[in-house]
Chains A and B, each alone.
Chain A
Amino acid sequence: KAGVTQTPRYLIKTRGQQVTLSCSPISGHRSVSWYQQTPGQGLQFLFEYFSETQRNKGNFPGRFSGRQFSNSRSEMNVSTLELGDSALYLCASSPLAGGIYEQFFGPGTRLTVL
């Protein structure tokens, strides 16, 4: 069974641009969560989606948004990029929502903002 895939794996953008990151969960998984990983702040929760609905949102500005499609694939968007948005963005999937099942993480998308 294929794992969680994230595309692209690496991105370089400049300040003020916007970016879209994609996450394909493990086949059959319907819950997707996103995390930002930085050396200073560590791993921070961004969003949680289940059946195309956002169930939970972390403490990030409105420039960070996301969505989930009917096939459970998810995208996150960051508008008006800032230098501080440089990070590894991780996606995780699990079969259902509710915190009952193990979450499986993808390898991440490394975003560099210049």
Chain B
Amino acid sequence: GDSVTQMEGPVTLSEEAFLTINCTYTATGYPSLFWYVQYPGEGLQLLLKATKADDKGSNKGFEATYRKETTSFHLEKGSVQVSDSAVYFCALSQGGSEKLVFGKGMKLTVNP
């Protein structure tokens, strides 16, 4: 079946550091790809998404590009802030379904 593999961490960075979280997937066809973020005590929030190859999703300074040739959707941010401390999940869905397949999640802590 479909699966998502991502860096699990935890990772601690200093404010203004560069962030990369690797995500690769295994799926048939052409899935849509997502990054979700979960802040302490809250549900998941959609951070960004891409629905076809070479699409770039971006939001709040975060970016990820759908690379079909490497089946990857790595998340990047050039300068992290303390407020970015959260757990980040990579996920995919197949056409016609609300079902999301998630990676294990990566906890990020950003220190001032």
Q: What residues of A have a CB within 8 angstroms of the CB of B95 in the complex? A: 99
Interchain Cβ contacts within 8 Å, total number: 62
Q: Does B104 contact A (CB under 8 A)?
A: yes
Chain B proximity mask over A8-36: 1 for CB below 8 Å, otherwise 0: 00000000000000000000000101010
A31 and B103 contact, Cβ closer than 8 Å, known pairs A90-B44, A102-B46: no
Chain B proximity mask over A87-108: 1 for CB below 8 Å, otherwise 0: 0001010100111001111111
Interface of A is mostly: strand
Q: How far is the CA of A85 from the CA of B23 in the complex (A)?
A: 28
Q: Does B10 contact A (CB under 8 A)?
A: no
B104 interface neighbour in A42, A56, A92, A102, Cβ under 8 Å? A42
Interface of B is mostly: loop
Range for the number of chain A residues in contact with chain B: 20 to 34
Q: Shortest distance in angstroms between B42's beta carbon and chain A's nearest beta carbon?
A: 6
Q: What residues of A have a CB within 8 angstroms of the CB of B99 in the complex? A: 33, 45, 48, 56, 58, 99
A103 and B98 contact, Cβ closer than 8 Å, known pairs A42-B104, A42-B105, A43-B89: yes
A99 interface neighbour in B41, B42, B43, B96, Cβ under 8 Å? B96
